[in-house]
Amino acid sequence: MAVKIEVDLSPADYQARAATGFGNAVCVVFDILRATSVMVTGLANGAAGFVPAAEIPEALALRSQHRNALLAGERNGLRITAAQSGGVEFDLGNSPREYTRDQVAGRIIISTTTNGTRALRAGVTAQSVAVASFLNLNATADWLAQQPTAQVILVCAGTAEFPALEDILGAGALCELLVRKLAKIQLLDSAETARRVYCEARLDLFGVISRSQNGRRLMANVELRDDVEFCLQRDSCNLVALLGADGVIRRSG
């Protein structure tokens, strides 16, 4: 039987699906700029795991379950300050370049971001949830090709309530890989759309993404502009990141 691939292109799509449940589907979440790129980078640099929290108070409350955890994430793209959290300076922002081995090795990281952690939380009812980015695309495709599932849903985290081009490009790049790796595959219209958008942009991904809404936002900030190129390093991390039943995202295997 062919594996059906669908893409939730915007937050409205994954919120609607979360309301009815993801059933037996395998779900893969993309927030290329930057939440899922951050998680993959942190795990590659030895972080013990990431705990996605939807809101700042939830992130603070989760510290009682994960003692000695780092608090991380962003609002408006920047590290969460004491003024925003009611008195606690977060340890890390949402730049993947902050997640060095020195900072994160062996640590649990509780993270709340605007859309990325929200998309991850929406997918929790799926049979399994993988965290993907351009950094671990091939490893994620290889893992997916081994899953005994009839349905794969690629979730694009988006920006606020709207689609984000870079997430659709990441999902489209994964569709393009899966077409080559799976013997029987059916791309539903949303997946075929993402794949075609990716194929059109693939030769100038940096140019296209740096002109996207999120790309422009990051490129306009001298401290964050290098994140765009960093998040496009294709297959720099040979790892699969999976959300466990305990709510922690860990490196698999």
Closest approach of ligand MLT to the CB of residue 62, in Å: 17
Q: What burial class does residue 236 get, using C-beta atoms within 10 Å of its C-beta: 0-12 exposed, 13-18 middle, 19+ buried?
A: middle
Tokens (6 digits) for 138: 């091939």
Residue 131 pairs with which residues in a beta bridge?
29, 241
Cβ proximity to ligand MLT: between 116 and 123 the closer is 116
CB 194 within 8 A of CB 168: yes
Task: Confirm or reject binding of residue 77 to ligand MLT (CB under 6 A).
Answer: yes
Cβ proximity to ligand MLT: between 77 and 172 the closer is 77
- Pattern of binders to ligand MLT over 89-128, x per CB under 6 A? -----x------------------xxxx------------
The footprint of ligand MLT on this chain (CB under 6 A) covers a number of residues equal to 12
Beta strands in the chain (DSSP E): 3-8, 26-30, 49-52, 70-75, 78-79, 108-112, 128-132, 151-156, 185-187, 241-243, 249-251
- Pattern of binders to ligand MLT over 129-158, x per CB under 6 A? ----------------------------x-
The candidate with the shortest Cα–Cα distance to 157, out of 117, 213, 191, is 117
Tokens (6 digits) for 32: 């290329």
Task: Confirm or reject binding of residue 35 to ligand MLT (CB under 6 A).
Answer: yes
Task: Confirm or reject binding of residue 212 to ligand MLT (CB under 6 A).
Answer: no
Footprint of ligand MLT (CB under 6 A): 31, 33-35, 74, 77, 94, 113-116, 157
